[in-house]
Chains A and B, each alone.
Chain A
Amino acid sequence: MRQWTWREHPLGAVIPEAATADHYETGGWRSLRPVLDREKCIDCFFCFIYCPDSSVMVQEDKMTGFKLQHCKGCGICAHECPKEAITMINEAEAKGLETCAADNKDGA
């Protein structure tokens, strides 16, 4: 990332641009991952409204999944979904990794 000196720093630390958080990966520490069952989904957008991280993606009036770059895995969407169309699965498993517990068991 480009570094700048104090002389160039924006006055009052005002970022002269909106929604800059979009540029950052903030979902890196997620331990559970939401998975959508499109068959069950009725596109009510409850998940979209409740998600505290604006991580539910909607395109052309359809709920299309989750933006994992920002999703923290809180499970609120799964809890609020009236059709139980969202399941929270283990993130490590989803990534095809072994869990930390498994590591400990196999390791020292």
Chain B
Amino acid sequence: MAKTVAMVGTDAVAEAMRQINPDVVPAYPITPQTAVVEKYAQMVADGIVDSEMINAESEHSAMSAAIGAAAGGARVMTATSSQGLALMWEMLYIASGMRLPVVMANVNRSLSAPINIHCDHSDSMGARDSGWIQLFSENAQETYDNVLQAIRIAEHPDVLTPVMVLLDGFIISHSIDRFDLIDDDVAKAFVGQYTPRNSLLDAANPSCWGAFDGLGGYFFEFKRAQAEGMLKAPAVIREVGKEYAEISGRRYDYFASYRMEDAEFVIVAAGSAAGTIRTAVDIFREKGLRVGLLKLRMFRPFPQQELVEALSHAKAVAVFDRSDTFAGDLGGPIFVETRSAFYEAEKRPQLMNFIYGLGGRDLPMSLVNQAIEMFKDAGSAEQKKRIVYLGLRD
């Protein structure tokens, strides 16, 4: 029997970790992620789990320890946020390059300057090309569900790629939310046992990791082989989602469609904003406007083909981005990817970009309404603006 609980989002991560009981958890605290490792450290101290907890001296060290432990054949998990993720940068590429199935929750928080501890997606967006799979969550339930599925995705032999589970700082991480925990034994059976393909600790089969690959070497071939893990990930993510539905009753795929069947105006969004947008969609539907929501879950790999198919019947699409690319009027990262995905499409909707919520700026209904009012006129003479900073003091 599933148990319904009322907990904050960071607890949702810790509870999933408790059920997974990874071998090693190297971590360093950072707001707003701290509550994840704090709670998990308590579980370790109380003997509820038997993970080896490594209190590293920085995030760079935490990810280094995660890589070392994973190369040693351990199932490894960690969590971070913002500057912490930024400090892990160089190691992120090493984890993905060595094809180590590390699973990490990233509690999305803006990056300095100026200093700001609140939510936006600029931290994980910066790591979008680091070779990690990235899955967005809308609330505590999705966070918990994503963490459990992330283990299976990362460790799948076709994938063997680290996974980052994303949850919005404070909005999800520190809000009490009602969600269901699946039974411990069901969760444990779902994640299963991890059998590493190589282990540095396997003295009978010695191996060499991270060797230097000189000019005449195989770096190029190696990187192409790495891309294969990402290419094969979508099928695995879909398969794991189906299997998870059987034990939880909750369906997960690349994205979730809401009132999309006949939608003329579609909003694409990721993370907690989807909840507010869904309500706005309902309100506009009552007024007779055919609005829909496409909630993006899988940002890496990016589901270009499926996204184009799902949006093909729309007249106009508004992409909501909680970060900017600073690429000179190119828009936010989800917008850039969506726009690029449509290049070969026969039918292209009008595309607009709403950059919102930087540094934790709230996204109230009034702003979503304002955005819908604007983009329903997309393409018209009055509305020629492509990129809008929503809620900006202008």
Contact = CB atoms under 8 A, between A and B. Distances in A.
A28 B36 CA distance: 52
B208 A11 contact: no
For chain B, which range describes its interface: under 10, 10 to 19, 20 to 34, or 35 or more residues?
Answer: 20 to 34
B98 A13 contact: yes
Contacts of B209: 12-15
B3 interface: no
B211 A12 contact: no
A7 to B, nearest CB: 7
Interface of B: 97-100, 160, 197-198, 205-211, 213, 218, 220-222, 224-225
B206 A17 contact: yes
A59 interface: no
The 4 closest A-B pairs by CB, nearest first: A18-B206, A12-B99, A6-B221, A15-B208
Given A18-B207, A20-B208, A11 B221 contact: no
A9 B207 contact: no
A17 B210 CA distance: 13
Interface string A15-34: 11111100000000000000
Given A9-B221, A9-B225, A16 B205 contact: yes
Contacts of B100: 12
Contact of B213 (A6, A13, A20): A13
Contacts of A20: 208, 211
A5 B228 CA distance: 14
A20 B213 CA distance: 13
B225 A7 contact: yes
B221 A5 contact: yes
Specify which of A4, A15, A17, A19 lies most central, judged by the most chain B CB atoms within 10 Å of its CB.
A15
Contacts of B213: 13
Contact of B208 (A5, A7, A17): A17
Given A11-B160, A12-B100, A6 B208 contact: no
Nearest to B100: A12
Contacts of A14: 98, 198, 207-209
A6 B198 contact: no
A13 B197 contact: no
Contacts of B222: 6, 9, 13
B197 A11 contact: yes
Nearest to B197: A11
